[in-house]
């Protein structure tokens, strides 16, 4: 039985993430999509909201489970008995950012990181850009699942009115 963890902030999950989940799910018997907190990033959605959005978005992927985690990703991998971490790569910047984390995680527990290249047509999609464009009134409806788009529109409206 092969099991991998695909970790991220997923604030919110995008169609780029879903592309990686689907392709990683074809490589392993089980894939756990794990939402954690990147302490250096500001967040629009709280952990429960991110978990709900991920669960809805992954509902059609039979061997994918969605979980939250705190602390080190390597400890979570050990807890769920995963042999690998999966990360999507959009380009060189992602590689520069991800490589030391992969090496640190391998140093800590020996867990391997598998990099999956993003489908070219989705290479420009990131949660940060989606939030920025949406908050300035741009159309991001084709870049995130419909339920995420609804929540994003609502949250940005709330932020604008201070609700």
Residue 17 is a catalytic residue = yes
The least distance separating ligand PNS from the CB of residue 75, rounded to whole angstroms, comes to: 8
The least distance separating ligand PNS from the CB of residue 32, rounded to whole angstroms, comes to: 12
Look at strands 30-35 and 112-117 and give their pairing: unpaired
Residue 41 is a catalytic residue = yes
How many whole angstroms separate alpha carbon 10 and alpha carbon 112? 21
Q: Catalytic: which of 127, 131, 151, 155?
A: 127
Nearest CB to ligand PNS, comparing residues 132 and 157? 132
Nearest CB to ligand PNS, comparing residues 41 and 159? 41
The least distance separating ligand PNS from the CB of residue 74, rounded to whole angstroms, comes to: 6
Q: Distance from CA of residue 53 to its chain's centroid?
A: 11
How many whole angstroms separate alpha carbon 84 and alpha carbon 13? 21
Contacting residues toward ligand PNS, per CB under 6 A: 7-9, 36, 38, 41, 72-73, 101, 104-105
The least distance separating ligand PNS from the CB of residue 162, rounded to whole angstroms, comes to: 27
Cα end-to-end distance, the chain, whole Å: 47
What is the SS3 string spanning 12-79? Answer: CCCHHHHHHHHHHHCCCCEEEEEECCCCCCCCCCCHHHHHHHHHHHCCCCCCEEEEECCCCHHHHHHH
Q: Catalytic: which of 87, 90, 131, 155?
A: 90
- Please answer whether residues 126 and 97 qualify as being in contact, where contact means their C-beta atoms are separated by less than 8 angstroms: no
Q: Catalytic: which of 9, 23, 40, 41?
A: 41
Nearest CB to ligand PNS, comparing residues 7 and 145? 7
Active site amino acids: 17, 41, 90, 127
């Amino acid at each position: 039985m092969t099991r991998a963890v695909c970790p991220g902030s997923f604030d919110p999950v995008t169609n780029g993430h879903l592309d990686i989940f689907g392709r990683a799910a074809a490589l392993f018997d089980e894939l756990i999509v794990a939402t954690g907190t990147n302490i250096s990033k500001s967040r629009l959605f709280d952990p429960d909201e991110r978990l709900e959005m991920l669960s809805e978005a992954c509902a059609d992927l039979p061997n994918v489970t969605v979980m939250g985690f705190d602390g080190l990703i390597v400890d979570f991998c050990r807890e769920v008995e995963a042999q690998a971490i999966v990360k999507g790569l959009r380009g060189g910047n992602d590689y520069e950012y991800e490589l030391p984390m992969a090496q640190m995680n391998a140093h800590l527990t020996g867990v391997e990181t598998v990099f999956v290249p993003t489908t070219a047509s989705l290479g420009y999609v990131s949660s940060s850009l989606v939030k920025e464009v949406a908050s300035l009134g741009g159309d991001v409806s084709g870049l995130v699942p419909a339920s995420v788009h609804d929540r994003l529109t609502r949250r940005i409206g709330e932020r604008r009115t201070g609700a």
